[in-house]
Each structure stands twice: as structure tokens, then as C-alpha cells.
């Protein structure tokens, strides 16, 4: 069992002012696997003041110095891969065979990428009598969810460090340990005191005091749309910049002339990986009516072939949900889908065959779904895919865009040109065409109620910059 008793503030491990603790239960064994401290608003205040104190000197470092620190952080993270991996398996339930690839190595590479991008801050532009320069936005508060915890942490921390910002970070209570390991990494590389501060505690208490603190200049939040709204409200009275990466209910259009087998298999795996707990999951598969039953059969066969089991078993493709309460939420949606009249093709509310306890859910496919059903409109955040028939491409695009969300989307068409033409008509921040994979070079973020920011790439760095005009 991992036990942490202190928070990392101003370059030191300190006993928190808050006295509660957070016991983390493995969703697979239902046994405690970690204990970390819960701080309170006083701890947030101490951490924010440390970040404020460090800002003047950190923001004045050269981009080359900041790049060196980011490179050193990436190197130190590399040494800690086994520790990060253990937290993903034990706290999140991510299968060991996928944990490194999906949760750890990408963020380390991205950290290196931002070392290179720190030189961005040196770029200036002269227009007439104006010199335009970039400056760091200031003290940042980062609040993260549990589904890709290290990825989300690095997506904020690395560009912010590259830009010259200082920060106070908080992880989710379901997956806190990676953040404590990251603080050990930061300590090991000797990042100047106060640049990175780790607090921990409930979203309501710690999150709200981070968002309302007058010395915080910017909040970057990843999580549910409902919490994102509360965060924006808490940040509004002090007019902070708020970057929100929120929920999704992403459409996936398969055209009549696409390779149906490849297209459906890609869609099923996209939804089921990380047990359906992916904000970009392509959970609404739109299939031409002429090929609908064929697609339903392919989806059923493939979903039933996916191995669900102990995340420590190398054969598992899907582990448990992240918690029992997340499992309950998903089962409620499966019952709702049946009650709404959708056809349960495979899956359902029983535990997967051979599993007797733990927060497991079977890969579930619903057919005969119409886009007005709650299983097509609401983010389930579990291994549940809905299949919606369409008659014309225009109708498919209308259905795709008929959602409050706009985080991601997918298209599988005959060729690249056809796929890109459809992608341009979908109102979402990303579109995965013909089986394309995630890229850390691709700006990532939502339209509509999926958020208002961009992470990764140059745009991700832009979130942490102010633009100044010097008139001569
Ligand atoms: P959540 O909104 O419940 O919690 C996210 C974080 O916010 C946690 O650290 C929590 O403690 C904190 N929090 C909760 N209420 C708060 C409040 N009132 N003030 C301040 N902080 C508060 O989300 P979750 O269940 O951890 O994660 C799942 C959600 O995250 C899904 O909706 C998913 O789509 C979304 N998500 C979005 C992205 C993206 O990049 N767009 C990525 C991953 C997850």
C-alpha cells in the first residue's frame, strides 16, 4: 500500500493543515491500495502564495533553462515508469498490457516536446511602431480527473513550465498517487521552490478555493461539464482566465462505401479501451441503414471477443470501471437504454463471465438507438456503444451535430478526401478519420459544452501566454 502523509509546497514536503485522509480503493480487488492526505483551504493559500513568490524569478529564466528542467523531468519520469504503471493498474484499473502505452510514455514524450517549445516565448514581432511580445500568464491552478491522470497533468504542467508560469495542482481522489510521484520527480530534479506545488483534497473544498483565490491568474480544468460550470463561476469574480476541457458524446460516421469490418472494429475498440472512460470515445456510431444489420453483427462479435478481467493479467483489454460508484452509474444507463426501447445486442448489467466481484461492466452495445434517447445524448463514461442508423449523409451529419457536446468525432469513408470533407462539417475539436490515432502534436479541445480551451501542440502552449504590445 502506498502511503503519503505530506503535501509538496514551496519545494518541501509539508504536513498539511487539513487533517483528513483519502483512502484509495482498487476497483478490481476492492481493497485499499493507497492513502494520501486531504488538505484544506489554508493549504491552498500557502501553496498559491508559494507559487506567487516564485513567479517573478521563474518567469525571468531563459527559455533554454526551462527547457533543461523539462528535459530533466522527462528523464526522471522515465525512471519512475514502473511506479506510475502500478498506480494506473491499482487505482484506475487500467490493464497492465496497455498502461504504459496509453497512460505514461506519451506524456513523457510530450514533456520533452514542450522543452523544445519553450523557445516560443522568445519570438517577437514588429508591426509598424509596435513590438509584440509573449509573457507567461502567471500563477495557474490545475484540477484534473481520474481517467488519464498523468496525461492530463502533463498537458497542463509542461506547457505552463515552458511558458514560465508557476502552479498549484490537484489530482482526483480516485487516482491521486501519480501526482505525489510527480512531486517526487520535481523534487529530484531540483525545480526552484514554489514553481510546482501539490495540494490534495475534495473538489468542493480544495477545487473551489483554488478557483476563487485572488492570487491565481488562470485555472485549467479537465473534468465533467457540471464541475466545469462551477469552476467558471468560482473564478468569475476575480476575472481569471479559465481553460475548460469537459465531457463529450462523440459521433462516428461510417459511410456506405467504407470497409465496414475495419470501421466497426476500430469504433468498438475506441469505445471500450480504458473501460469506456475516455472523454473522446466515439460512443455514437452512425451507420447507413443499408449496412446496419451487418455492422451490428460485426460490433457484437468484436465486443464479445474483448477480454475483460484482472488488470494485472496481461491478456486483459478491459479492466474494471474506476470505482463501484462509476459502475452503478453505467448500469443505470444500461437499464435506461433498455427502458427507452433500444435493442441490447450484447453486454448488460451482469458481471462478465468468470468474474465474481469488482467494479466490472461487460462491453455493451445498443442498436436501434435514436439520437433523442438519453443513452445517445448523455455522457455515460463506460463501455457502452450506441448504434444509430441513417439514410443520407446530410442526415448523418445533422445527427452527429445534434448534441450539446463537441469534443471529438470520427469518420470512416472510402478515402482520405471523402473523410476530410465530412470531418469539416462536424462541429467538434477533433475528428479521427479512417482509423487515425491520437497525436500529441494535435491541438485538443472542445466546441460547445465540451469546453473552451486547447491542450497539446503550439495551441496548448498559447493557453499559458499573455500578449503584450510595446508601442514605440
Ligand atoms: P469531475 O468533474 O467529477 O472531477 C474532476 C476534478 O474536478 C476532480 O479533481 C474533482 O475533485 C474536481 N472538482 C469536482 N467538483 C469541483 C468543484 N465544484 N470545484 C472545483 N473542483 C471540483 O470529473 P471526473 O469524474 O473526475 O472525470 C470524468 C469527466 O471528465 C468526464 O465528464 C469526462 O468527459 C471529463 N474529461 C474530459 C477530458 C477533456 O480533455 N475534455 C478529459 C478527460 C475527462
Q: Is 8 helix (H, G, I), strand (E, B) or coil?
A: strand
Catalytic residue among 279, 431, 455, 463: 279
Ligand 1 proximity of 428 Cβ (cutoff 6 Å): no
Ligand 1 proximity of 207 Cβ (cutoff 6 Å): yes
- Counting from 1 in the atom list of ligand 1, the atom nearest the Cα of 381 is 31
Q: Tell me the C-alpha distance between 69 and 58, whole Å.
A: 11
Catalytic residue among 76, 90, 208, 245: 245
What's 23-85 look like in SS3?
Answer: EEECCCCCCEEEEEECCCHHHHHHHHHHHHHHHHHHHCCCHHHHHHHHHHHHHHHHHCHHHHH
Cα of 296 from ligand 1 centre, angstroms: 32
Residue 356 confidence (pLDDT)? 95
Neighbours of 163 (CB within 10 A): 27
140 is catalytic: no
Is the pTM for the entire model greater than 0.95?
yes
Which of the residues in the chain have pLDDT under 70?
none
For residue 169, what are the CA distances in angstroms to 69, 123, 153, 181? 18, 28, 8, 13
Cα of 216 from ligand 1 centre, angstroms: 19
CA-closest residue to ligand 1 atom 13: 203
Ligand 1 proximity of 172 Cβ (cutoff 6 Å): yes
245 is catalytic: yes
Domains plus CATH for the chain?
2-246+450-471 (3.40.605.10), 251-439 (3.40.309.10)
Residue 463 confidence (pLDDT)? 97
Phi-psi region of 407 (alpha: psi -120 to 50; beta: other; left: phi over 0): alpha
* R_g over Cα of the chain: 22
Residue 149 confidence (pLDDT)? 98
CA-closest residue to ligand 1 atom 10: 203
For residue 55, what are the CA distances in angstroms to 84, 161, 302, 339? 29, 11, 52, 55
Beta carbons of 170 and 54 less than 8 angstroms apart: no
Residue 271 confidence (pLDDT)? 98
Per-residue model confidence as pLDDT tens digits over 38-78: 999 999 999 999 999 999 999 999 999 999 999 999 999 99
CA-closest residue to ligand 1 atom 40: 245
Amino acid at each position: 500500500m502506498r502511503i503519503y502523509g505530506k503535501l509538496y509546497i514551496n519545494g518541501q514536503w509539508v504536513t498539511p493543515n487539513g487533517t483528513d485522509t483519502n483512502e484509495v480503493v482498487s476497483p478490481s480487488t476492492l481493497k485499499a491500495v493507497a492513502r494520501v492526505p486531504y488538505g484544506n483551504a489554508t493549504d491552498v493559500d500557502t501553496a498559491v502564495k508559494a507559487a506567487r513568490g516564485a513567479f517573478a524569478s521563474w518567469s525571468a529564466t531563459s527559455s533554454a533553462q526551462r527547457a533543461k528542467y523539462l528535459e530533466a523531468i522527462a528523464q526522471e519520469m522515465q525512471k519512475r515508469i514502473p511506479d506510475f504503471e502500478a498506480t494506473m493498474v491499482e487505482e484506475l484499473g487500467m490493464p497492465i498490457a496497455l498502461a504504459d502505452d496509453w497512460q505514461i510514455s506519451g506524456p513523457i514524450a510530450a514533456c520533452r516536446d514542450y522543452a523544445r517549445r519553450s523557445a516560443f516565448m522568445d519570438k517577437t514581432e514588429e508591426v509598424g511602431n509596435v513590438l509584440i511580445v509573449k509573457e507567461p500568464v502567471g500563477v495557474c491552478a490545475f484540477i484534473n480527473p481520474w481517467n488519464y491522470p498523468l496525461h492530463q497533468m502533463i498537458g497542463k504542467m509542461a506547457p505552463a513550465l515552458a511558458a514560465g508560469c508557476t502552479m498549484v495542482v490537484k489530482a482526483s481522489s480516485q487516482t491521486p498517487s501519480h501526482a505525489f510521484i510527480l512531486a517526487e520527480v520535481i523534487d529530484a530534479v531540483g525545480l526552484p521552490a514554489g514553481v510546482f506545488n501539490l495540494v490534495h483534497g475534495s473538489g468542493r473544498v480544495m477545487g473551489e478555493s483554488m478557483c476563487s483565490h485572488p492570487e491565481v491568474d488562470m485555472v485549467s480544468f479537465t473534468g465533467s461539464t457540471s464541475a466545469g460550470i462551477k469552476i467558471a463561476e468560482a473564478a468569475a469574480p476575480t476575472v481569471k482566465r479559465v481553460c475548460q476541457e469537459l465531457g463529450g458524446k462523440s459521433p462516428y460516421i461510417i459511410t456506405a462505401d467504407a470497409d465496414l469490418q475495419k470501421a466497426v472494429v476500430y469504433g468498438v475498440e475506441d469505445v471500450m479501451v480504458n473501460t469506456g472512460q475516455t472523454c473522446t470515445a466515439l460512443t455514437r456510431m452512425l451507420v447507413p441503414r443499408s449496412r446496419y444489420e451487418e455492422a451490428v453483427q460485426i460490433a457484437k462479435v468484436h465486443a464479445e471477443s474483448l477480454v475483460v478481467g484482472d488488470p494485472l493479467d496481461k491478456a486483459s483489454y478491459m479492466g474494471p470501471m474506476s470505482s463501484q460508484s462509476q459502475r452503478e452509474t453505467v448500469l443505470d444507463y444500461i437499464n435506461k437504454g433498455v427502458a427507452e426501447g433500444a435493442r441490447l445486442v450484447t453486454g448488460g448489467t451482469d458481471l462478465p463471465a468468470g468474474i465474481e466481484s469488482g467494479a466490472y461492466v461487460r462491453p455493451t452495445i445498443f442498436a436501434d438507438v435514436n439520437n433523442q434517447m438519453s443513452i445517445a445524448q448523455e455522457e455515460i463514461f463506460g463501455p457502452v456503444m450506441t448504434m444509430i442508423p441513417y439514410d443520407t449523409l446530410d442526415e448523418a451529419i445533422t445527427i452527429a451535430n445534434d448534441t450539446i457536446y463537441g469534443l471529438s468525432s470520427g469518420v470512416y469513408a472510402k478515402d482520405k478526401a471523402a473523410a476530410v470533407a465530412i470531418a469539416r462539417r462536424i462541429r467538434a475539436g477533433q475528428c479521427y478519420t479512417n482509423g487515425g490515432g491520437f497525436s500529441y502534436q494535435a491541438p485538443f479541445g472542445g466546441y460547445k459544452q465540451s469546453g473552451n480551451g486547447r491542450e497539446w501542440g503550439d495551441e496548448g502552449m498559447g493557453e499559458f501566454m499573455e500578449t503584450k504590445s510595446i508601442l514605440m
